[in-house]
Structure 1
Amino acid sequence: RHGYTALYYRASKFLEFMESEKAIGNYLKTLEKFAKVKLLVLDDIGPDVMNKQQRNIFFDIVEERYLLTSTIITSQLPLDQWYGVFDEPTIADAVCDRLFHNAHKILLKGDSMRKPTQGRKKT
């Protein structure tokens, strides 16, 4: 570990968690905690469109971490379809500008690792 902190969340669970933190008044404290983690992994941005509160939460975390710490975001959507996830052009521009600036984009291709293949044993 060498003193590095890391957290992994499915994006949908992260947004639900942050919505609940907001509802009970812990949002700013929790946001600060996530901002300090050296590596935050948000898995599977996309399949659902974000509501207004989720868009704002996502923007807040991206803004707090921008140029300070590392964030890995995964998605099955091509980058040009990310704007549809935010469903609001101004927030989409702000988030994508911060995420794509200085980012390393890795495009993975191939068959799903979850699908059985002929040579793989089924368990």
Structure 2
Amino acid sequence: MTAADLTTMLVESKSVDRLSRKLDQLARYDLVILDELGYVPFDRAGADLLFTFITKIYERRSLIVTTNLPFPRWSEVFQDTTAAAAVIDRIVHHATILETRGKSYRLQAAEDAHEKTPTP
């Protein structure tokens, strides 16, 4: 799920006093894929809830995070350099980091498709 979807789910669960139940439910998954971290900015409350979730599954479950933001910019996501550093610390501990560079695969595919389209 996207980071924004997860954060929205956590905020909604907290608003109806079911955050603990939702965190426990999500923490049962063996693998959590957190897609597009940083694509949509969070308010401080959302960032804190995402931090809470990551802390809950830290060293208990596997986590995959996709993002186009380098680590130094994660403070923009978590609204705080200390919280960002704590999240990064938990994510990279025991991690394998895969970094891709170059053109977006989607952009490259679109350009390739455009080149193959015959012109009248």
TM range (shorter): 0.7 to 0.9
Q: Within 5 A, what are the aligned runs for 1:15-94?
A: 15-94=7-86
Structure 1 residue runs of 5 or longer lacking an equivalent are 1-8
Structure 2 residue runs of 5 or longer lacking an equivalent are none
Deviation by residue 1:75-122 (Cα, 9 ceiling, x = unmatched): 011122112221212212221111121211100123222221336767
Call closer, same or farther: CA 1:93–1:79 in 2, change over 3 Å: closer
TM-superposed CA distance for 1:57, in Å, is 0.9
Give the conservation status (yes or no) of the 8 Å contact 1:49–1:87: no
Which structure: greater helix fraction?
2
In the alignment of these two chains, the number of paired residues is 114
Higher deviation after alignment, 90-99 or 63-72: 90-99
- Give the match's secondary structure for 1:108: coil
Is residue 118 from structure 1 mapped to residue 119 from structure 2 by the alignment? Answer: no
- Give the match's secondary structure for 2:17: coil
Higher deviation after alignment, 41-50 or 14-23: 41-50
Higher deviation after alignment, 57-66 or 93-102: 93-102
TM-score (norm 2): 0.84
TM-superposed CA distance for 1:52, in Å, is 1.7
1: distance between equivalents of 2:113 and 2:83?
46
Amino acid at match of 1:19: V
Deviation by residue 1:11-41 (Cα, 9 ceiling, x = unmatched): 1111111111111111100101111110000
CA-based RMSD: 1.8
